[in-house]
Amino acid sequence: MNDLARYVALDVPSLLAILSMMAVTYGTRVAGFLVLRNRSLSPRATAVLEAVPGAVLISVIAPAFTTTNPADLAGLAVTLAMACRFPMLPTVIVGVAATALLRHVL
Amino acid sequence: MTATVHPDDAAPEGVVIKGAAPDEGPGRSVSTEFRRGLAAMMPILLGVAPFALVLGSQAAMKGLSPLEVALMCGLNFAGGSEFVAIELWRSPPQIALIAGMTLLVNCRHLLMGAAFARHLRSLRPWQAALVLFVMADETWALGMDDARRRMAATGRPGISLPYYAGLAVSLYVAWVAVTVAGAVVGPVLGDPHAYGFDMAFTAVFLVLVRGMWKGWRRALPWPVSLGVAAVTHLLVPGAWYVPAGTLAGLAVAYVVAGHETREAAP
């Protein structure tokens, strides 16, 4: 397969997944405008909706916390410590470098 | 500012910004407003670009072609859900799972759209439809901020459409272009696991979550989500740990919010 074909490869399941993401996301954008514009949500409902992104993101990375590999655990600890204080780019660079180093050493 | 000049004289092709603040006066032509939007987004792009690079390269490692990355980022245009989708991506992708998680991650759009609604009421339906299509955290935050200022000046709600277009165009072009660049460049780096690149994802998500910090009480769902998702991952095959952890965290958020409302009541 030449480079161009690899760059523009598009299979049907992937396209369907992408289109379903588009439909769902645009739905959330329009629904708030159309349905909620004349109503006010209770503070409780608002608080729950605001908690959604954080709960999702944490759940997605939870498997990383179940590892029993000491190198991966130590790398995770370094990444977590960095994430508490530093911006995205340094956290990613240090987290990746520390994990790579620990995997070679431990 | 030469306030005596009629706005029509200054605006190209006779286009006047609908509902423009009087004190902003003439000279605030469509192109001026558009450029103001482009400029306002620039500092944010510096922060967004690294995320886009990481997303693109991770997508490529999951087997997506640069075209597929461009389609996902251009049609969906909601970074958080794209990170989640790529993390859960298998070949072939589990469409129901990805659509369901996209819905969960993007639920916040409901609130954003509702808050934005009063400023979009004077727009034509197709204009509002377009404004909402490119409503992301960044465009919404800057657009709302500008609309609030304009309302303070004029007493009327409404966004500056060309300003918002400037915000949206710069963010949209940057997001799609840089993720595609990441998808093209990423695979050159080789096997991600050997170099620790798989930790990049965890790092990005932890930083995103840190940015949502609003005090200890609002963070209570986080350890619960983590614990339930981790246990589910160990016990149940597949990606069910994501909805399980999410729903557990939301249950905690519901209880915490109930306490807050009761305390707030006299």
Centroid of chain to Cα B138: 6
pLDDT, tens digit, for every residue of A26-60?
A: 999 999 888 876 667 788 888 887 787 788 889 88
In a domain, B170, yes or no: yes
Number of domains into which chain B is organized: 2
**Domain check: are B125 and B163 in the same one?**
yes
**Domain check: are B208 and B219 in the same one?**
no
**Domain check: are A3 and A29 in the same one?**
yes
**Domain check: are A28 and A72 in the same one?**
no
**Domain check: are B164 and B252 in the same one?**
no
Contact list in A for residue B133 (CB cut-off 8 A) is 26, 29
Q: Which of A9, A28, A62 sits opposite B245 (nearest CB)?
A: A62
pLDDT for position B3: 37
Q: Which of B82, B108, B258 sits opposite A50 (nearest CB)?
A: B108
Model pTM score: 0.73
**Domain check: are A59 and A99 in the same one?**
yes
Q: Is B16 helix (H, G, I), strand (E, B) or coil?
A: coil
pLDDT for position B30: 93
**Domain check: are A63 and A105 in the same one?**
yes
**Domain check: are B257 and B207 in the same one?**
no
**Interchain CB contacts (distance < 8 Å): A and B:** 306
**Domain check: are A61 and A106 in the same one?**
yes
Structural domain that includes position A104: 55-106
Neighbours of B7 (CB within 10 A): 18
Contact list in B for residue A8 (CB cut-off 8 A) is 65-67
Structural domain that includes position B232: 215-266
pLDDT for position B125: 92
pLDDT for position B189: 64
Q: How far apart are CA B176 and CA B52, in angstroms?
A: 8
Contact list in B for residue A73 (CB cut-off 8 A) is none
**Domain check: are A89 and A59 in the same one?**
yes
**DSSP string covering B195-260:** HTTHHHHHHHHHHHHHTT---HHHHTHHHHHHHHHHHHHHHSSSSTHHHHHHHHHHHHHHHHHHHH
Contact list in A for residue B81 (CB cut-off 8 A) is 21, 25
| B6 CA: distance to closest CA in chain A (Å) | 34
* Last residue within a domain, chosen from B196, B212, B228: B212
Q: What is the mean pLDDT of chain A?
A: 89
Number of domains into which chain A is organized: 2
pLDDT for position B190: 59
Does A24 touch chain B if contact means CB atoms closer than 8 Å?
A: yes
ipTM summary value:
0.83
**Domain check: are B109 and B203 in the same one?**
yes
In a domain, B13, yes or no: no
Contact list in A for residue B260 (CB cut-off 8 A) is 43, 47
Contact by Cβ (8 Å): A61, B142:
no
Q: Tokens for B205?
A: 């998500």
**Domain check: are B205 and B244 in the same one?**
no
> Over its length of 266 residues, how does chain B's per-residue pLDDT go in tens digits?
333 333 333 334 434 444 444 444 444 789 999 999 999 888 788 778 888 888 999 999 899 999 999 999 999 999 989 999 998 999 889 999 999 999 988 887 887 888 788 889 889 999 999 999 999 988 998 898 899 889 889 988 899 999 999 999 999 999 999 999 999 998 776 555 667 777 877 887 898 889 888 899 999 999 999 999 999 999 987 777 888 998 999 999 999 999 887 777 65
Which residue type does B237 have?
P
**Domain check: are B228 and B153 in the same one?**
no
Interchain pair A96, B196: CB under 8 A: yes
Contact by Cβ (8 Å): B61, B187:
yes
pLDDT for position B249: 95
Interchain pair B113, A47: CB under 8 A: no
Q: Which of B93, B116, B245 sits opposite A55 (nearest CB)?
A: B245
